[in-house]
Amino acid sequence: MSLKANEKNSIESGTFSLTDVVSIADISRKEIEIVLNKAKNLEEMDKKEKSKILENRVVASLFFEPSTRTRLSFETAIQNLGGRVIGFADPGVSSFKKGETLSDTIKMIERYADIIVMRHFIEGAARRAAEISQVPIINGGDGANQHPTQTLLDLYTIKKEFGKIDGITIGLLGDLKYGRTVHSLAYALAKFNDAKIYCISPEQLKMPKEIIEDIKGKVKVIETDDLNKVLPELDVLYATRIQKERFADEKDYNKVKNAFILDAGILKKTKKQFRIMHPLPRVNEIKTELDLTPAALYFEQAANGVPVREALLAMLLGKKKVI
Amino acid sequence: MSLKANEKNSIESGTFSLTDVVSIADISRKEIEIVLNKAKNLEEMDKKEKSKILENRVVASLFFEPSTRTRLSFETAIQNLGGRVIGFADPGVSSFKKGETLSDTIKMIERYADIIVMRHFIEGAARRAAEISQVPIINGGDGANQHPTQTLLDLYTIKKEFGKIDGITIGLLGDLKYGRTVHSLAYALAKFNDAKIYCISPEQLKMPKEIIEDIKGKVKVIETDDLNKVLPELDVLYATRIQKERFADEKDYNKVKNAFILDAGILKKTKKQFRIMHPLPRVNEIKTELDLTPAALYFEQAANGVPVREALLAMLLGKKKVI
Amino acid sequence: MSLKANEKNSIESGTFSLTDVVSIADISRKEIEIVLNKAKNLEEMDKKEKSKILENRVVASLFFEPSTRTRLSFETAIQNLGGRVIGFADPGVSSFKKGETLSDTIKMIERYADIIVMRHFIEGAARRAAEISQVPIINGGDGANQHPTQTLLDLYTIKKEFGKIDGITIGLLGDLKYGRTVHSLAYALAKFNDAKIYCISPEQLKMPKEIIEDIKGKVKVIETDDLNKVLPELDVLYATRIQKERFADEKDYNKVKNAFILDAGILKKTKKQFRIMHPLPRVNEIKTELDLTPAALYFEQAANGVPVREALLAMLLGKKKVI
């Protein structure tokens, strides 16, 4: 199936219906496209013009859990749009320690800021905040649960590089059991047409069965532990970190830790337009010898966080909410 | 007694004479009114016009002790006025650790910033800073001592809700022994006409005698431990947290801890325009079932911190000091 | 020797050739003069005009090691030029903890920001960052190694006070063994004409021999431990802190700790235009009784950090780098 002409038109002229960005599950394919188009539009916009979008607006950036990439790209986005930032990068400087509930913090901040960006260590925190807040909430990650702006920038990166997302063949590599990034990306790809997903992981870190069940009618999903075999077919290899903390037994970790370290050798087996993505930070799962090859898309991917977050901020500004 | 016509005129056309805001004791009734009028004026001002007030100005926000509400509302105020913020939210990132005196820190920062906002854990720190600094100092709290901007926003909240402060009947509830907020508010109300203050607390946490002595000729003060009895008479109930750390013996704490928890039931006994205030954060002393009732004024109170702090910043800017 | 007329012209019309500011060793006398002239120019510039220089630009301020003076004066400089700041004041809030390399951090941040200011605890970190980054790097201190903007502001302070740097007689006082500030300043003075440097320290904290060797053909260098004897000859006494941590044996520390505490008494022996400088923070090495005397130049020196850092930011903006 493909988009019909009038559906395409409605995308181009479409408006983003959401008042908060909490989970990629809330966002339809049509609305994903609207976000990606808006991001492209902002990336091409004159700096001065762009800096009027959040002029005289305040955006709260509340990081109850530390982050570099997400926080700095949000704060860059806010400032590129001419907005002002208030907030904290570290829960230690907040009233949290005095026992204030998230709900009370939000009820205060919504009176100071026009939009709230938040990262929280508790799963569901952003949803709860969105239910309470009169101003839009953007989820910058809630525990192991959702990180929708990461998924949107992943999709933007694919679209920018390949011209489309439909029909993409992607390998998800590494820790597919605990990685929220690959879970969300899998669900998001299922909203597009004819994507093919290889889930490449050691036995202990396989993609959860319920996710496979949820998406397998919508995309082709193949599970494997043999990266080399599937490499030639991939457009994108999406690598993730394997975290030692995930293994009860260090022996199990040592068995798999080096299984999926990518080096320049893999490029002998790949398509010409093959690209490597990674949510970063990496530790050793992508050797730096790959950084200067055309396959390395991960730094561009990180950079794409800025226009995508700009797009969300621009589209959520002034949204009326009924609480 | 009431204000005479020409005193009213002088308020309207009055200028704020202070060069620093260190203690509510320094600020006359007339000047409190000037602050509150300026805050109202700023709250109604067009955003763009407002953003010119601190254009190309830098305000230092120095928090030697963490804070969320005070810091973020100051930083919102600074940015709403178009100013830029430098500073720290956490003493750990300052030279403090290298043994620098407050005096030396101020002598540096006064050369970077046009106004200094500071919170410090040492009582008297703001007064000392004001004596040294060539630029205006605003005290955002010095230990258990003073927090004048909190008192000003409390007064602004009362005036906005009731149209006036004169003649208000207010209950101060909870920890009246250690709470700097209620001490300052009591002194401030004594500058107005015909206020009536009920001091409602357990025996162990009574308002200090010297404060009662200081204010009792100027306002009516009645001490009680029976909230229910005085409720019907109150315009405002100003609740505070009872902190466990204040009790030497945990048994004493357990006796009083639930004595003054407010729930929706109290509204059966109150006046129609009865309102609850609280400096926040609360722990459990106001049940959330009250939040959506018209009596809940505490979130609006927190929000009022922004225009009141804007007013102080706007009025102190460019003040010449003789050091 | 002195500058010839056409060399002077080329300075006035000169452009700053560097694309990064990593070490004072990289900067020629001519380019130091260009920086100092630019700083003077910026100090005299109208605030509004100045605020257009970094309009719609983002500068990253990455402090992997805490700092007050350096960070706040950089952030003041950035904001005075109309730029926006992203970054962190504390490595605890960065991905560093997740094991990200400096190289990967820089490859991300260079895509968010137009210039990167960084302080790092590892010697050589700024050089490494400059090799990687496509945008200019300014070193705000790398371990015990380099702190070039401190040296530039020291030179600016001397020039502003004395009208010139050539021919200055300066005493470097205190910890000359470990103090990076005095090392860099000594090298920088060697680029000027006819400076005379007294190295005044206890035996244990003498200026390293290799530095003396490097500069002694270019400036007069005299080592002594007798401050009183050389005082009458000095234009500037540059004091530094003697850190307890530098001594293996506390007894050795106790012997020297009070050897070079400056008090108002020294002014009886000094020239009329004698000035005291100090990189700050001081602990007790300059008594506060000196603060209000004309000799106290250290707070002005700290203030001079702002125009000097503004000059560097303004001159590095938009520099094309070949990586």
Q: Each residue of C66-75: pLDDT tens digit?
A: 888 999 999 9
- Please identify every residue of C annotated as catalytic: 69-70, 98, 119, 147
A98 close to B (CB below 8 A): yes
Report d(CA C33, CA C148) in Å as an integer: 14
Q: Measured between beta carbons, which residues in chain B are less than 8 angstroms from residue A93?
A: 63, 66-68, 71, 89-90
- What is the pLDDT, as a whole number, of residue A165? 98
Closest CA to B67 of B90, B85, B51, B97: B90
Residue B156 has pLDDT above 70, yes or no: yes
- What is the pLDDT, as a whole number, of residue C7? 44
The catalytic residue among B38, B119, B241, B278 is: B119
CB C278 within 8 Å of CB C238? yes
Edge to edge, the sheet with strand C84-88 lists C84-88, C58-63, C115-120, C137-142
Report d(CA B111, CA B165) in Å as an integer: 39
pLDDT tens-digit profile of A89-112?
A: 876 655 556 678 999 999 999 999
Q: How confident is the model at residue B129 (pLDDT cuts 50, 70, 90)?
A: very high
Tokens read off for A210:
């319920």
**With an 8 Å Cβ cutoff, are B109 and C72 in contact?**
yes
A283 close to B (CB below 8 A): no
- What is the pLDDT, as a whole number, of residue B6? 42
Tokens 């043994």 map to which residue?
Answer: B99
Average pLDDT, chain B: 92
Q: How confident is the model at residue C54 (pLDDT cuts 50, 70, 90)?
A: very high
Please calculate the CA angle B245-B247-B251 and round it to the nearest 5 degrees.
Answer: 120
CB crowding C4-22: b at 16 or more within 10 Å, else e: eeeeeeebeebebebbbbb
* C-alpha torsion angle, residues C76, C77, C78, C79 (rounded to 10): 50
| % of chain C beyond a pLDDT of 90 | 79
**With an 8 Å Cβ cutoff, are B302 and A108 in contact?**
yes
Distance from CA of A63 to the nearest CA of C (A): 9
Report d(CA C261, CA A142) in Å as an integer: 54
Query: A71 an active-site residue?
Result: no
The DSSP call for residue C231 is G
- What is the pLDDT, as a whole number, of residue B246? 74
Tokens 């492209």 map to which residue?
Answer: A40
Edge to edge, the sheet with strand C275-277 lists C220-224, C196-200, C169-173, C236-239, C275-277
Helix (H) / strand (E) element for A169: namely strand A169-173
Residue B265 has pLDDT above 70, yes or no: yes
Structural domains in chain C, sorted by start:
5-147+304-316 (3.40.50.1370), 149-303 (3.40.50.1370)
pLDDT tens-digit profile of A9-46?
A: 444 557 899 999 999 999 999 999 999 999 999 999 99
Which 3 state secondary structure label does DSSP give B113? coil
Interface test mutation site (partner A, options B68, B292, B299, max chain A beta carbons within 10 A): B68
Which 3 state secondary structure label does DSSP give A128? helix
pLDDT tens-digit profile of B188-222?
A: 999 999 999 999 999 889 999 999 999 999 999 99
Q: Which of the residue ranges A125-129, B306-310, C30-34, C281-285 would you say has the lowest mean pLDDT?
A: C281-285
Closest CA to B37 of B150, B156, B139, B136: B156
Residue C1 has pLDDT above 90, yes or no: no
Contacts for A95 with CB less than 8 Å, ≥ 6 apart: A105, B67, B68, B69, B280, B281
Q: How confident is the model at residue B98 (pLDDT cuts 50, 70, 90)?
A: low
- What is the pLDDT, as a whole number, of residue B10? 42
- What is the pLDDT, as a whole number, of residue B142? 93
pLDDT tens-digit profile of A163-183?
A: 999 999 999 999 999 888 999
Report d(CA A80, CA C38) in Å as an integer: 27
Tell how far CA C320 is from the center of its chain. 25
Q: Which of the residue ranges A90-94, B8-12, C25-29, C104-108 would you say has the lowest mean pLDDT?
A: B8-12
Count the neighbouring beta carbons within 10 Å of the beta carbon of residue B289. Answer: 12
- Mean pLDDT (whole number) for C81-103: 81
- Mean pLDDT (whole number) for C124-136: 97
Residue A197 has pLDDT above 50, yes or no: yes
- What is the pLDDT, as a whole number, of residue B317? 96
Chain A: residue whose CA lies nearest to B66: A93
Higher pLDDT among residues A322 and C123, named by residue? C123
Partner residue opposite A92 with nearest CB, options B90, B299, B300: B90
Residue B14 has pLDDT above 80, yes or no: no
The DSSP call for residue C146 is B
- What is the pLDDT, as a whole number, of residue B97? 60
Please calculate the CA angle C117-C120-C121 and round it to the nearest 5 degrees.
Answer: 165
Query: A183 an active-site residue?
Result: no
- Mean pLDDT (whole number) for A157-161: 98
pLDDT tens-digit profile of B213-257?
A: 999 999 999 999 999 999 999 999 999 998 777 777 888 888 877
| % of chain C beyond a pLDDT of 70 | 93
- What is the pLDDT, as a whole number, of residue A98? 66
Question: What Rg value do the Cα atoms of chain A yield, rounded?
Answer: 20
Q: Which of the residue ranges A43-52, C48-57, C225-234, C243-252 would you say has the lowest mean pLDDT?
A: C243-252
